[in-house]
Each structure stands twice: as structure tokens, then as C-alpha cells.
Structure 1
Amino acid sequence: MVADEGSTVYLVDDDECVRVSFTRLLSTVGYVVRSYASAEDFLSHHDPAIPGCAVVDLSLPGMDGLGIQQTLVSSQVNRPIIFVTGHGDIPTSVRAMKAGAVDFLTKPVEASVLLSAVVHALDRDLETRREGERKQSIEKRLASLTPRERQVLAHVTAGRLNKQIAGDLGTVEKTIKVHRARMMRKIGVRTVADLVRLVASVDPAVDAPGLALGPTTALPSLAVEDADGRDSRDRG
């Protein structure tokens, strides 16, 4: 088993023996381990930008493991957490899992079980970060649109044709085709179906003010026009 380059495991446990044992095991396979004896110490040093996961003891002095999880969730930090405990119960484990925990392990934890859980947690972290980067890329492309291109975008994703958009915006069809082609090029799509799927994958209220994508949007009818706005129904 080989650790991903740059992978960090945050270890939070008030038992020094556990911290030493887990640190030795995780370091052996190449992970960078940062260990803490309390939730407060961990949270004061935690860097959400660093890829990795957290192995957290459920019972800690002061704030417990669930408190750490809630603090991270409240701060919109998607740090995958593996809980370990010597006396867990089903309701607590269910609560932790519902809040997004990757796994809930009972001490003493076998080395293979811990390593497997860490691999799973790191995979989730990587997937989450890739999705975040993808959304940031989409947001950046949407932000590059001019106000008029944003208006055209809203109309296009609503399934309206160039003639209809031109009428609504008080301009001519040829001008709408120019704005539409530039908008599609900036966003990096060629079909309206792809455009709708891409924009719907981010929060319209945040990333494209004024753009409303309803649940009844019909993709088949949207895919008629291409990036240049050519459509058999849109000629005249």
C-alpha cells in the first residue's frame, strides 16, 4: 500500500499510546501524520486546504469527536473523518455516519482495518476536491460573461429560441446569435443540453444571478440549436 503524495492524516486521540501506535503505522506506509491530544488543539492547527483525512477518537476531554465533526460541518469544511472508540454505541455511530463520517471503528483497531478506512477516506477527499475545482472552473467561466451574455444564457437554458430571445430583449436575431456564440465559447460547450447540465451542477443563485433552472426543463427541446444558434425552427 502506497500513500498518495501529500496525503495527511490528522490524528486526534487523548491516549498517547494510541497516538504513537497509529502514527507509527500510518507513517510506515508513507502518510504524513499530525497528531493532537484534544479537539481544541486539532481545530486550532487544522488547515482545510491540506489534502487528507482525520482519525478521531469519539471520547475526548473537552469537546468530543462529534463536536469536531459538527464544527467542521458548520464551517463548511469537508474533511473526511474516521471515528475510533472503545465504547461506542449504535445510535452514536448512526449519528456520526449520517453527518458524513467515513467509518466508525471500535478499539482495538486492526492495522489492516484502519489502513483500509484511511484509503477510503483519502479517496473521498480527493473526489471532493476535484469536484470543488470543477465547480470553481465553472464559476470562473460564468463570471467572465458580460451582462448581456448572462441574459442570453438565462433565456437559452429556459429553452427559448433566438427569435424569441431577440423579441424579449428588444434586439435583432443576428445580435442574439453573436452573444450566444460568444457565451457558449466562453463556457466551453457546444450544445444547449451540455450547457444546462453544466450550469445546473452549480448553484445558480450564487454563480449566475438571475439564472433560473426549473426542475421541468426539457433537455430534448433544448438540444436543437448548436453553439452558433442554428436551428431549423429558428430561420426566417
Structure 2
Amino acid sequence: MIDDPDAGPLIYLVDDDETIRTSLSRALDLRGYRVRTFASAQAFLDGYDGTSPGCLLLDYGMPQTNGLQLQKHLRESGIDLPVIFITGHGGVPESVQAMKMGAIDFLEKPFKQSALIDRIETALEIGRERSAAKRARQEFRSRFDSLTEREREIASRMVANPAQSSSKEVGRQLGISPRTVDHHRARIFEKMCVNSMAELLEISLKAATSGDP
């Protein structure tokens, strides 16, 4: 199933207890959330396509692949879906491990619905921020890849050392004339959709500090 990313975030609920899946999905649906349920970690992996932002409500104590194992798999696969654990079996060591791997929270059943909603809202906001950062990284990479080899070389030098990013300095480093650097600089700004060195530096820093696309 391919989700519609324009329809809003999804809550992915993974729990082997059908009663929990039914009651939680109904409660969340009544509050206006979009919910997809899965009876196992493998069922989630088979059905998740990554097109819709959202968060993962994950039971810890599942057979075959438990919640921590699924969380570890997602992390190693580069899937940064925010995770909220819901469990009746986990203890302190498990909760500590989950939080170290980036879980939003580790809620023990039974939990107050208001507490779950609060965590979901936090997770969805984090998910939106991550999705926006990923789109920005991908856009930056696409623009950077459109540069010629020489343009990439010049852009990289300017970003790496802004204090020596003048056409004269860059030309001296590369053994070309400042006029030639000016020509390349204009093309770089045009392709990167920026109007100044400051803007180029800003978007490159955002891409660098947000992780790989």
C-alpha cells in the first residue's frame, strides 16, 4: 500500500495484541489521527514505504522480533521514524536502551490516554522537522550535483574557507584569473538558487549539520 503524503502524518501502531490494536486505533481515530495497524514487526516492515511522515507506536514484548530489535533495525536502515514504546513487559534496562536509541518515550501499560497523546504530538512535530530537513538536504544535493566539476571545486573552497572566498583568493589557489572565478561564481549562485556567499554558506551548513540525505 502506498500512502498519500499530502493526507498528513500517519501513526503506525505495531502490537501483537489485537485488542490493543483495535482499542487504540479507534481512540486515535476519534481524535482525528490517521492510523495504520500491524500485528508484528515483519508486517510493519512489509507494509511501510516511507512516503508519509508520522510516528511509530511500538509494543516492546512481541514474539519473533521484539520492539527493541525493530527499533535497532530501523535505526541501522536509516529510517528516522520517531518511536514511542508502549509495553506491559519492559523494565528499566529496556527503557534505557530504547531511549539511548532515540525513542521519544517508553510508556508502560496501562497508561493515560492524555499522556500518549502528548507524546504523539511531540513525535509528530519531531517527524515534521526531520522530513523538512531531509527535503532540504535532498534539494541541496540535487542543486550541488548540477554544478560542473570546476564549479563544485570553487563552491567547496568558498564554503570551506569563507574568509578567503573572494575571487582573487580563490583564483590564486586554483591558478586561474579572478574574472574566471567571477564567471563560475555567478553560475554557482544561479544553480544553487542563492544571491550571496552568506546564503550559500547558510544552506551548506544546514545540509552538513542535518546528516546525510
Counterparts in 2 of 1:46-125, with a 5 A limit? Answer: 46-125=48-127
Higher radius of gyration, 1 or 2: 1
Name the aligned partner's letter for residue 143 of structure 1.
Answer: D
Q: Identify the match of residue 188 of structure 2 among 183, 186, 200.
A: 183
Displacement of 1:203 after TM fit? 4.5
Aligned pairs, number: 203
Distance 1:119 1:162, change over 3 A: same
Aligned equivalents of 1:42 and 1:10: distance in 2? 8
Aligned equivalents of 1:203 and 1:110: distance in 2? 40
- List per-residue Cα deviations over 1:15-62 (Å, max 9, x = no partner): 121111101101111222211221121211122222211111110011
Q: Identify the match of residue 141 of structure 2 among 131, 135, 139.
A: 139
TM-score (norm 2): 0.87
RMSD across aligned C-alpha pairs, in angstroms? 2.1
Counterparts in 2 of 1:123-202, with a 5 A limit? Answer: 123-157=125-159, 158=161, 159-202=164-207
Aligned equivalents of 2:165 and 2:44: distance in 1? 53
2:3 corresponds in structure 1 to none
Q: Secondary structure at the match of 2:207?
A: coil
Aligned equivalents of 1:154 and 1:11: distance in 2? 44
Name the aligned partner's letter for residue 167 of structure 2.
Answer: N
Decide which moves more: 75-84 or 30-39. Answer: 30-39
- Is there any run of 5+ residues in structure 2 with no aligned partner, and where? 1-5
TM-score (norm 1): 0.79
